[in-house]
Structures are given as structure tokens and as C-alpha cells.
């Protein structure tokens, strides 16, 4: 492990971690708008630690949906982390139950990208752990800041927080749909299809159900085809 390579991995991991972790402010504000207390928002970030699922949960709750729909949406969006875990297990090879559990908790989009992009196993572990620790600390700190700040706003300003969840979702989604993403045209079609399903169902189903249906539709659309290379 050369010093320049190690420095580059640390720089990328910390930079990405800070940039992504700052989105915690939006989650804290969205959680407050959905009716969660600041401590509830913080506990959610500490224990869930998967942004898309967290935003889905508070989005459903904020729209008046029930607990089962909110939890179902969060779980369906979080299933991708299981796939990441299967990919990372042989690469990171954590030993012992405590390390395996800790590693699993930090398996998200960004830490997976950092680990997979590293040139060797040692740098993969370094990138994963550095990125995971940075995102975890910054995300939880900014979640509390966002929740406390939103709680201190007046009623007019709090009403504007309804736009936080869709705006944050778009911010998380957009980089994955740009030309640099793998199979960007397919990703855009699948994303638009999921959005269409959610919009069409919104007038007819209870809050949150359209999110679950859209996630299921996207998962089915993205499944491997028989005979595909």
C-alpha cells in the first residue's frame, strides 16, 4: 500500500463522507415536519443509517400514512444494501460477529462504491471504514442540527419543509441517472417508470402504498432477464 494511494483513498473517502453526510440536515428537517421529535430523528439516523429508506419513511409518515406502509417502504428501499453486503463480504472479510455486525451497519451506496473502486483489499477496507465513519458522524450530527433547527422555525417556515423530502430524494437520485452512471438510459427509464406508477396510484391508495408499489415495480423491471449475458 503506497503512501500516495493511501492518501488518495483517504481524501476521497473523507470528501465524499462530508458531502453526503451534510444531507442529514434535510433528513432532520423532514423528520420534524413528519412529526418526529429531535431525539426520534437522531435515533432513526443512528439505527437505520440508510438515507433513501429514512427519507421514504418520514415521507410516508408526513403524508399521513401508517406505520406498516412507512416501514414497508423503508425496508424495500433498503434491500439493495443486502446485495451490496454479498459483494463486500469477501472483499472486506470482517472477522468475528461484532465486526461483521458493525461492517453490515455501514454498508450503503457510498461505502460500497469506495470499497469496490479501491485497487486492492487493504485500500478497500481503508476506504470503506474511513468513508463509513465520516458519513456516520456527519450524518447523525447534521440530523440533530436539522431537527432542532426545524423545531425552532415558525409555522410558515415549517410549512415550506414539505418540499424537503422530494428535493432530497432528487438530490440523492440525480447523480445515479447522469451519463456517468452504469447503463444510464436504462436507469432513467426505470426511474421514470417508478415515478409514473407512484403518481398514477396516488389519488386511489392510502399514503405510502404508492411508494411501496413503485419500489416493487422498479425491482421487477430491474430483474435479470433470462438468456441475458
User: Does residue 139 surpass a pLDDT of 50?
Assistant: yes
Q: Which of 32-41, 65-74, 75-84, 191-200 has the lowest mean pLDDT?
A: 191-200
Contact 26, 168 (CB under 8 A): yes
Number of H helices, E strands in the chain: 12, 0
- Alpha carbon distance 146, 229 (integer Å): 46
Residues in the chain: 229
pLDDT at 229: 42
Higher-pLDDT residue of 157 and 7 is: 7
The number of C-alpha atoms within 13 Å of 39 and in the hemisphere containing its C-beta is: 0
**Which long-range contacts does 93-100 make (Cβ < 8 Å, 24+ apart)?**
93/121
User: Does residue 228 surpass a pLDDT of 50?
Assistant: no
3-state secondary structure 16-27: HHHHHHCCHHHH
- pLDDT band at 80; cut points 50, 70, 90: confident
Q: What is the pLDDT of residues 155-211, one digit of tens each?
A: 555 555 555 545 555 555 565 555 554 555 666 676 677 677 767 876 776 655 656
pTM value > 0.85: no
- Alpha carbon distance 72, 51 (integer Å): 15
- Alpha carbon distance 177, 129 (integer Å): 26
CB-CB neighbours of 160 under 10 Å: 11
In this prediction, what percent of the chain has a pLDDT beyond 70?
69
User: Does residue 227 surpass a pLDDT of 80?
Assistant: no
Q: What is the pLDDT of residues 19-31, one digit of tens each?
A: 888 888 888 988 8
Question: What's the mean per-residue pLDDT of the chain?
Answer: 78
pLDDT at 41: 93
pLDDT at 170: 59
Contact 201, 65 (CB under 8 A): no
pLDDT at 12: 86
In this prediction, what percent of the chain has a pLDDT beyond 90?
22
In 118-226, alpha helices (H): 121-151, 155-159, 164-177, 184-201, 209-221
> 144, 151, 186: which is closest to 24 by C-alpha?
144
C-alpha cell read off for 90: 469477501
Q: Which of 101-110, 188-197, 208-217 is modeled with the greatest confidence?
A: 101-110
- pLDDT band at 153; cut points 50, 70, 90: low
Q: What is the pLDDT of residues 27-52, one digit of tens each?
A: 898 888 888 999 999 999 999 998 88
C-alpha cell read off for 129: 471504514
Higher-pLDDT residue of 213 and 96 is: 96
Amino acid at each position: 500500500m503506497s503512501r500516495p494511494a493511501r492518501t488518495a483513498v483517504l481524501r476521497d473517502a473523507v470528501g465524499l463522507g462530508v458531502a453526503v453526510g451534510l444531507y442529514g440536515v434535510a433528513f432532520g428537517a423532514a423528520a420534524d415536519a413528519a412529526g418526529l421529535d429531535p431525539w426520534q430523528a437522531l435515533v432513526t439516523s443512528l439505527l437505520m443509517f440508510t438515507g433513501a429508506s429514512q427519507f421514504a419513511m418520514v415521507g410516508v409518515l408526513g403524508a399521513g400514512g401508517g406505520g406498516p406502509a412507512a416501514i414497508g417502504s423503508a425496508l424495500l428501499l433498503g434491500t439493495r444494501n443486502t446485495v451490496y453486503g454479498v459483494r463486500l463480504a469477501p472483499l472486506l472479510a470482517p472477522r468475528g460477529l461484532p465486526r461483521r455486525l458493525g461492517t453490515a451497519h455501514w454498508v450503503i451506496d457510498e461505502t460500497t462504491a469506495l470499497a469496490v473502486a479501491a485497487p486492492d483489499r487493504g485500500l478497500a477496507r481503508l476506504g470503506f471504514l474511513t468513508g463509513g465513519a465520516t458519513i456516520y458522524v456527519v450524518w447523525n450530527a447534521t440530523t440533530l442540527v436539522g431537527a432542532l433547527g426545524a423545531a425552532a422555525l415558525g409555522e410558515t417556515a415549517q410549512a415550506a419543509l414539505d418540499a424537503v423530502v422530494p428535493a432530497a430524494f432528487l438530490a440523492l437520485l440525480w447523480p445515479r441517472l447522469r451519463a456517468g452512471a452504469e447503463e444510464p438510459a436504462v436507469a432513467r427509464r426505470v426511474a421514470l417508470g417508478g415515478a409514473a406508477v407512484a403518481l398514477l396510484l396516488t389519488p386511489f391508495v392510502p399514503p405510502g402504498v404508492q411508494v411501496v408499489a413503485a419500489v416493487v415495480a422498479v425491482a421487477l423491471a430491474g430483474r435479470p432477464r433470462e438468456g441475458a449475458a
